[in-house]
Amino acid sequence: MLSDTDPHALFAEWFAEARLGEPNDPEAMALATAGADGQPSLRMVLLKGHDERGFVFYTNLESRKAGELSATPRAALLFHWKSLRRQIRIEGPVERVSDAEGDAYFATRSRDSQLGAWASDQSRPLDSRATFETRYEAMRARFAEGGVPRPQHWSGFRVAPERIEFWQDRAHRLHERRLFVKRDGGWEEGLLYP
């Protein structure tokens, strides 16, 4: 069945409620990827932007997740707001954000987080915490004067949704599940059994 309901507007409404009512990290989302071998991988990341184009997060481009997204440019996201008894599942293709978007977001990060992006070889083996702290201090010295530019190995990805499911907890496990599927440039809406 077709609906006038816009899943992006519904997401924005639920996300605003989560920001008011979820006590810990309402922007936290599970990100599922798969490598070229099909092996799935899952981790938590933070939503840093959303609009009609999709849902954006940032990472080291040499990390495991970035490598998997390059090999298999599709992903699934899951928001779980336990205190609100809601979750949202999102699936779709992934693309890199523009350099301008990456630069703009990087500029909003704290200086320590910016330096950490330069110091970290994210997801690769680390012999000791002291090695990382030494690298961090070296970046502090390197960028002692002026701003910290975005490293070329750090940027963002956008998941462009093809499926968005809104799940609302109901008594006796009689949950409500609304599914939006993108077809022919619009959204088709339906319900799923709990």
Residue 119 lies in a domain: no
% of the chain surpassing 70 pLDDT:
98
CATH code: domain of residue 42 = 2.30.110.10
Give pLDDT, residue 4. Answer: 56
Question: What's the average model confidence in pLDDT over 34-53?
Answer: 96
Closest Cα partner for 129 from 142, 141, 120? 120
Residue 13 — very low, low, confident or very high, per pLDDT cuts 50/70/90? very high
Q: 120 lies in a domain?
A: no
**Six token digits for residue 105:** 């977001």
Tell whether 171 is covered by a domain: yes
Is pLDDT above 70 for 119? yes
Kindly state whether residue 102 falls inside one of the protein's structural domains: yes
Whether 2 shows a pLDDT value over 80: the answer reads no
3: pLDDT strictly greater than 50: no
Count of structural domains, the chain: 1
Question: In the 8-state DSSP scheme, what is residue 145?
Answer: S
Amino acid at 151: P
In a domain, 59, yes or no: yes
Range of the domain at 89: 7-107+152-192
**pLDDT tens string 134-189:** 999 999 999 999 999 999 999 999 999 999 999 999 999 999 999 999 999 899 99
Rounded to an integer, what is the distance from CA 61 to the centroid of its chain? 14
Asked if the structure places residue 136 within a domain, the reply is no
The verdict on residue 38 lying in a domain is yes
> For residue 102, is pLDDT > 70?
yes
Active-site residue, 173 included = yes
Q: For the residues 81-98, what does the mean pLDDT come to?
A: 97
Q: Is residue 21 included in any domain, yes or no?
A: yes
1 pLDDT exceeds 50? Answer: no
pLDDT band at 5 (very low <50, low <70, confident <90, very high): confident
pTM: 0.93
Those residues whose C-beta lies under 8 Å from the C-beta of residue 15, and which sit 6 or more positions away, are 26, 27, 47, 50, 79
Q: CB under 8 Å to 173, separation ≥6 — which residues? A: 194
Choosing from 173, 177, 178, 183, the catalytic residue is 173
**Can you tell me the mean pLDDT for 97-110?**
97
Q: Is the pLDDT of residue 52 over 90?
A: yes
Rounded Cα distance, 149 and 29, in Å: 27
